[in-house]
Amino acid sequence: MDKKVLVHLFCGLLAVLSVFVVKADNPYRYYTWTVTYGTISPLGVPQQVILINGQFPGPSLEVVTNDNIILNLINKLDQPFLLTWNGIKQRKNSWQDGVLGTNCPIPPNTNYTYKFQAKDQIGTFTYFPSTQFHKAAGGFGAFNIYKRPQIPLPYPNPDGDFTLLIGDWYKANHKALQASLDSGKTLPFPDGILINGQLTTTFTGDQGKTYRFRISNVGLSTSFNFRIQGHKLKLVEVEGSHTIQNEYDSLDVHVGQSIAVLVTLNQVPKDYYIVASTRFTKKVLTSTAVLHYSNSHTPVSGPLPAGPTYQIRWSILQARTFRWNLTANAARPNPQGSYHYGKVPIKKRIVLENSAPLVNGKQRYAVNRVSYVNPDTPLKLADHFNIPGVFSVDSIQILPSEGAASVASSVIPNSLHDFIEVVFQNNENTIQSWHLDGYDFWVVGYGSGQWTEARRRTYNLVDALTRHTAQVYPNSWTSILVSLDNQGMWNLRSAIWERQYLGQQLYLRVWTPVHSLANEYDIPNNVLLCGKAVGRHL
């Protein structure tokens, strides 16, 4: 063959390969966010809130699977500040998790740049402040991850997306609420419910079209029921899991949770109520928005659609209908059901019992009698630099026991790639909501009373969905299975923020003695150092 022909063929091959490499690269998305205080009146009374780039709620992060996020956060508050990314797994990268066990808070008038990837995830998530009691002032927002073009959706592409950030709200300043907790008091009942930071808002769509509603509970303490007057809700996704597409008249969403539903505008053209009302509360708070047909000339009317109030069994039965779509792709080409979680041997079983003890005469919340306190040095930094005296892996037992409560920086040690069961035992009369950073998990069972080995016979070991936050009903238990395939220091906490703040949390240390970038990324070169880590060399 002629040399010129060979050269042309070789150059052409290089060109094809270079195009492939460029297409294979995962895009980088750059953001600069400035965190400030501002004064608005979400419940009709002027109050100080936390704004991000002047917005309340904060800007939405709209990204695609495997996008790299470079986010420079500038803190203009008068207190140290962090954001955490609720449900983002931070694969091999707990350095970017944004909680006090992994990160030093960003001091006032300084900045920190988060660098992480939306690795192998799709779905509906949120972000919010993890420091002090800032979450009660705002600083939260939506984090939506869309599929890559080559991955099919298990339903037709919706004609549009609506994001609804719904949560309970207080008129009181966040510092006053925190001071009340510090004094040993509990929080009062919330003053209202906000939808996207407002008492009312409008969502407009065209008759005959189908829209995806992304719904998240960004509140501090209260579950809510969501419904739309005259319309069915087709559940299609829960925190990154594609679900069996059942239709519902209304859906419960507990603190820290997110869902996505399809709503077809197939009714007479007019305006319809969108309703969120509190669950399991003696006093029922209700907030409304409007679904407006674009060809409507008729305002909302009639009574609000009724929803459940305190019916616990109703909620349990609904939760058991949430099932994994085994044949659907999620973020990757392989079907969700290709991993047979129900056949994996369990390496360790942990039973965690929440409680509300008094410690030194003040209200605290505890797990297995240990109420967590944040040390001055983040656990992750202490672990990395081998700093003694910051935490102990013997400070908490993995089974409940009798005795007085104590305070500690509690860490449960685990080996990388262990497959574990965690049972949340709730002997209190209030609903609980538990969240695990760094992972999603299979919610395999709910039940009333005390958990026993015999309850395992009731588990769903075939098509339980995965999610990052699970509810535990009053005087009940919830069981989850977790594949510990993500090395790091991971926060397991109550999503009910008063309880988290006063100690209902701990950390899972997932570790292997083999140091490898295949297991965990190196410490970032821009890491903030505080406490006993100050002056340490990276």
Distance of CA 502 to the CA centre of its chain: 19
Q: What pLDDT shows up at residue 25?
A: 80
Contacts of 390 (CB under 8 A, 6+ apart): 375, 377, 379, 382, 409, 531, 532
**Phi, psi for 338 (deg, rounded to 5):** -70, -15
- Can you tell me the mean pLDDT for 346-352? 98
Looking at the predicted structure, is the pLDDT value of residue 24 above 70? no
For residue 4, what pLDDT band results from cuts at 50, 70 and 90? very low
Give the dihedral sign, CA 103/142/320/119: negative
For residue 538, what pLDDT band results from cuts at 50, 70 and 90? confident
For residue 354, what pLDDT band results from cuts at 50, 70 and 90? very high
User: How many angstroms separate the first and last alpha carbons of the chain?
Assistant: 56
- Report strand pairing: 61-64 vs 141-146: parallel
Q: What pLDDT shows up at residue 330?
A: 84
CATH topology of 24-148 equal to that of 153-311+322-328?
yes
- Can you tell me the mean pLDDT for 506-516? 96
Share of the chain above pLDDT 70, in %: 96
**Phi, psi for 324 (deg, rounded to 5):** -70, 135
- Can you tell me the mean pLDDT for 230-258? 98
State the fold for domain 341-533.
Answer: Immunoglobulin-like (2.60.40)
State the fold for domain 24-148.
Answer: Immunoglobulin-like (2.60.40)
Q: What pLDDT shows up at residue 193?
A: 98
Looking at the predicted structure, is the pLDDT value of residue 20 above 60? no
Contact call for residues 234 and 280 (beta carbons, < 8 A): no
CA-based nearest residue to 116, from 30, 214, 25, 58 = 30
- Can you tell me the mean pLDDT for 475-504? 98
CA-based nearest residue to 368, from 394, 393, 405 = 405
Residue type present at position 354: N
Average pLDDT, the chain: 95
Q: pLDDT tens for residues 414-435?
A: 999 999 999 999 999 999 999 9
DSSP string, 82-108: -EEEET---TT-GGGS-STTT-PPBPT
Domain-wise residue ranges, the chain: 24-148, 153-311+322-328, 341-533
Looking at the predicted structure, is the pLDDT value of residue 171 above 80? yes
- Can you tell me the mean pLDDT for 436-448? 98
Q: What pLDDT shows up at residue 18?
A: 34
Is the domain 153-311+322-328 a CATH 3.40.50.10420 member? no
What are 478's two structure tokens? 């919830």
The overall pTM is greater than 0.85: yes
User: Looking only at Cα atoms, what is the longest distance across the chain?
Assistant: 91
Q: pLDDT tens for residues 103-114?
A: 999 999 999 999
CA distance 232 to 226: 11
Share of the chain above pLDDT 90, in %: 94
Q: What pLDDT shows up at residue 6?
A: 40
Give the dihedral sign, CA 179/183/184/188: negative
Looking at the predicted structure, is the pLDDT value of residue 13 above 90? no
Q: pLDDT tens for residues 35-63?
A: 999 999 999 999 999 999 999 999 999 99
Count other Cβ atoms within 10 Å, centred on residue 401: 8
Q: What pLDDT shows up at residue 249?
A: 98
**Phi, psi for 320 (deg, rounded to 5):** -70, -15
Q: What pLDDT shows up at residue 443?
A: 98
